Amino acid sequence: MAAAAEDAFMDETRTQGPSKADSLRESVASSISRGKEALSAVASDAIDTAGPDLKALRSDLSDLKETVAKFVSRAGDEAGKSAREIAGQVGTGASDLAEKGANVASIATDQAKTLVTELENIARRNPLGALAGAVVVGVLIGMMGRRS
């Protein structure tokens, strides 16, 4: 169908002569030129109207970037403070625990010295009893060693 319309157009341009075809070409070229100019004007208007919006968008993005950077910085500072506080608390707890352990060791040392002094005093007052006690303890240790 399109081929028939094209053939009809070609036949009409041939019958009308070269001046009609030239006129038709000029008309099409003029229409194309006007279309180009209209598109150029529309594009120029779009650029002019989009310019301020684009600048505002750039400014908003810059502000957003600064806000995010401040937020990340503050979050990092707060995390650091929390870590330092926790480390301080752990350090204080460990220090208290070490001090309590040292106190317990000191008390145990003092009690062991007192026990040794008491055993020495008993051995001096009753040497045969001390020897008999040592023999009994040795026998008990030997019996426990055989069971293992």
| Model confidence pLDDT, tens digit, residues 40-69 | 888 787 777 777 877 888 888 888 888 888
- Please say whether the beta carbons of 24 and 13 come within 8 A: yes
Is 73 strand, coil or helix? helix
The torsion angle over the Cα atoms of residues 95, 100, 102 and 104, rounded to 10 degrees, is -170
pLDDT exceeds 80 at position 124? yes
Mean residue pLDDT across the chain: 80
Task: Specify the pTM.
Answer: 0.39
pLDDT band, residue 87 (cuts 50/70/90): confident
pLDDT band, residue 2 (cuts 50/70/90): very low
Amino acid (1-letter code) at residue 98: A
pLDDT of residue 114: 92
Amino acid (1-letter code) at residue 97: L
Percent of the chain with pLDDT over 70: 87
pLDDT of residue 25: 79
Nearest to 133 by CA among 147, 144, 112, 119: 119
Average pLDDT over residues 93-107: 87
